[in-house]
Homo-oligomer: A and B are copies of this chain.
């Protein structure tokens, strides 16, 4: 093991998801120098998951030939409503957590200061600070993956609203007669443009006899389909069905971006998440064109619509940013 420094300079960011835990160690310039990954195993309960988070964190530190003492602080994003002040996860449906004192539990395991935030907020923070140098005063980060969520930075600060749940853009209705959403309503943004929505439309089309290269690649059930399979089908196999369905999702994304621009008028809208990481080149141009068409005349002037390059690392980067910010606040 390398020697420890007298004043710890490293930061640890953790992205706690419903299926996996990702931990990353960052140096003081916010470069990622090592990481570790673990499945969440949410069914084993709170204690077991927190222990897995701690083990994942220690593995990432070990991966960098560092000791826990070399880390100044830990920032973690949880998939649900969180209270950063009390350090509690109020409600995280994917983990089946209610009122979990995550900060205290993790501090006990790691003997390091821990700071928590909602996962989309922390991703927005990562993009805002690490990719955009914290310059835009108002930024909305929209993260497209299994589901869709957003993090809002207004007046230079994370905005989380009355119940600390602001940013649930995935359940903004775009098409009142659209497909059924997991939330029980119809035509939510998430039911039209998430990875889940795209996969469902592909499977339905295949079931109806539509042709796609994805069947040759994955079999008739499109089993274990991933975003990268879509990219391959579109780019290498020139698959028309996959292209059409991804482009439709991009158009819905553009309409959602326009609604955000009309309502909040942010300086920058950033599109991120796993779906953008794999298919950003196919989604961004159509989403931007649609957004500018649907934004009111003049209101989108000077507003940038960009793709995040952080991809899967937005969460851990944001965790490191959060830890640094909160440590500086003292």
A171-B296 contact given A150-B263, A265-B166, CB 8 Å threshold: yes
Q: Is B172 a contact of A259 with CB atoms below 8 Å?
A: yes
Q: Is B263 a contact of A172 with CB atoms below 8 Å?
A: yes
Kindly state whether residue A91 has any CB partner on chain B within 8 Å: yes
Q: How many residues of A contact B (CB 8 A)?
A: 53
Please give the residue numbers on chain A whose beta carbons come within 8 Å of chain B beta carbons, in ascending order: 81, 91, 93, 137-138, 150, 152, 154-155, 159-169, 171-178, 183, 185, 187, 252, 255, 258-260, 262-267, 293-303
Q: Is A175 a contact of B172 with CB atoms below 8 Å?
A: no
Chain B neighbourhood of A300, CB < 8 A: 163
Chain B neighbourhood of A173, CB < 8 A: 174, 255, 258-259, 294
Q: Could you say which of A160, A165, A260, A301 has the most chain B C-beta atoms within 10 Å of its C-beta?
A: A165
Bound Cα distance A187, B89 (Å): 37
Which 6 pairs between the two chains have the least Cβ-Cβ distance? A161-B265, A168-B262, A166-B265, A162-B267, A172-B259, A165-B299
Cross-chain contact of A183 among B167, B265, B297 (Cβ < 8 A)? B297
A265-B163 contact given A168-B296, A172-B259, A185-B294, CB 8 Å threshold: yes
Q: Is B264 a contact of A166 with CB atoms below 8 Å?
A: yes
Bound Cα distance A226, B280 (Å): 49
Chain B neighbourhood of A155, CB < 8 A: 154-155, 159
Bound Cα distance A150, B259 (Å): 13
Q: Is B171 a contact of A262 with CB atoms below 8 Å?
A: yes
Q: Is A162 a contact of B263 with CB atoms below 8 Å?
A: no
